[in-house]
Amino acid sequence: MRIAIVADVHANLVSFQAVLRHAEEGGALDAIWCLGDTVGYGPQPNECLDLLRSHEHLAVAGNHDLAACGSMTVDEFNADAAKAALWTGKQLTQSSREYLQSLPLICQRGEFTLVHGSLREPEWEYLLSTSQARAQFALQETRYSIVGHSHMPFVCREIDPEPPTLLFATDGERTGLTEQRLILNPGSAGQPRDGDPRAGYALYDTDAAAVTFARVEYDIAATQRAMKKAGLPRWLSDRLSEGL
Ligand code: ZN
């Protein structure tokens, strides 16, 4: 099976479509695994949810998903994120809202656990340090876990009793799945924040037992035009050009 692993699509339909096209270049896609924050920030929340739901998929809820569907307040959000979350909430169709409300915070499939932030704080923790990785491994019941939320692609390896290693994953990097326990982050498909504005995702090839990270060019200006038309905060649109 070929599975596209995506996180933090953030209602950026143009980038999400580009990611799926890229994933399909190497062969048919069997499923999408989605680490949450499919909506929020961007201009096309329903379209992104429809595209996700048109595929065989697994998904967990992110903080932006929960805020948009009314399952969480925006009290913890910064001003622009809160504004976008409230705008998103107004756009959601009944079907999109109910779908978001139905998503679990944590999902297990085979050797994998999916969670947006971290196992100890699914909605909020930005898992980016070795001490946080250690806490994640302690709670991780499966060999591998996949997170999103930080918008930073990485591979973290457990090397007990040494501290885990957490290394940024670059375009084209391939990680073989062995007995070693891992935490993976595919990066953000809709709002990269590592200085590279290209959409990020990872492809899991079950036959090869490997995950390959990829970055994909997309029409950033098209998304920015849609954001302007929707009246979304300027900074949220500007940052897409920089990947910040
Ligand atoms: Zn996010």
Cβ-based neighbour number of residue 170 at 10 Å:
12
Give, for all 244 residues of the chain, the pLDDT tens digit: 999 999 999 999 999 999 999 999 989 999 999 999 999 999 999 999 999 999 999 999 999 999 999 999 998 899 989 999 999 999 999 999 999 999 999 999 999 999 999 999 999 999 999 999 999 999 999 999 999 999 999 999 999 889 999 999 999 999 999 999 999 999 999 999 999 999 999 999 999 999 999 999 999 999 999 999 999 999 999 999 999 8
How far is ligand 1, taken at its centre, from the CA of residue 162, in Å? 30
How far is ligand 1, taken at its centre, from the CA of residue 150, in Å? 7
How far is ligand 1, taken at its centre, from the CA of residue 124, in Å? 10
Query: For residue 7, which phi and psi values (nearest 5 degrees)?
Result: -140, 155
How far is ligand 1, taken at its centre, from the CA of residue 37, in Å? 5
Distance CA 147, CA 117 (A): 6
Distance CA 75, CA 123 (A): 14
- Tell me, yes or no, if the pTM score tops 0.95: yes
149 near 117, Cβ under 8 Å?
A: yes
Distance CA 219, CA 238 (A): 14
Q: Which residues, by Cβ under 5 Å, contact ligand 1, an ion?
A: 8, 37
pLDDT in tens, 13-41: 999 999 999 999 989 999 999 999 999 99
Nearest to 200 by CA among 210, 209, 211, 188: 188
Distance CA 14, CA 29 (A): 18
Nearest to 213 by CA among 184, 178, 244: 184
How far is ligand 1, taken at its centre, from the CA of residue 146, in Å? 14
Beta strands in 144-235 (DSSP E): 144-146, 154-159, 162-168, 174-176, 182-185, 199-205, 210-216
Distance CA 177, CA 179 (A): 7
Query: For residue 29, which phi and psi values (nearest 5 degrees)?
Result: -95, 130
Per-residue b or e along 118-145, where b marks 16 or more CB atoms closer than 10 Å to that residue's CB = bbebbbebebbeeebbebbbeebeebbb
